[in-house]
Amino acid sequence: MATEKVLLVTIVNRGWGDRVLEASMKAGAEGGTIVFGRGLGIHEHQKILGICIEPEKEIMLSLIDRDRSEGIINEIIKVARLDKPGTGLAFTVPVDRVMGIVHSLEEKSEG
């Protein structure tokens, strides 16, 4: 089934995931999933006793309407300070098919 949805991926430092999720929902997202990961960016070279530390990350995944994506991303940029180096990144990925969002499909058929 073709949709007008995109996958919004936001990667931030550990501890910021809940703020990002709340900001995205405030701007119109219906929800999201936070997963944990490790990663290293150009601004994150940290060593302790000569051992390189890989900073922990929180990755928020949210399926959003394409026409709401700009507002949601702008809210995330503001809340997570993504306009500053080393704070994270956000991007969208086109979505061709979606299954399992029955509530969204029911709302469209009623409207």
Tell me the C-alpha distance between 48 and 3, whole Å.
Answer: 47
User: What's the rounded mean pLDDT across residues 12-21?
Assistant: 94
Please state the domain count of the chain. Answer: 1
- The whole-model pTM stands at 0.77
CB contact at 8 A, 35 and 21: no
Q: What band does 2 get if pLDDT is binned at 50, 70 and 90?
A: very low
Range of the domain at 24: 5-110
Token pair, residue 90, equals 């956000």
Strand 51-53 vs strand 5-13: parallel, antiparallel, or unpaired?
A: unpaired
User: Of the ranges 7-11, 50-54, 105-109, which is most confident?
Assistant: 7-11
65-108 pLDDT tens trace = 999 999 999 999 999 999 998 889 999 999 988 888 765 555 55
Contacts of 98 (CB under 8 A, 6+ apart): 1, 3, 5, 63
Q: What is the CATH number of the domain that holds 34?
A: 3.30.70.120
40 vs 8, higher pLDDT? 8
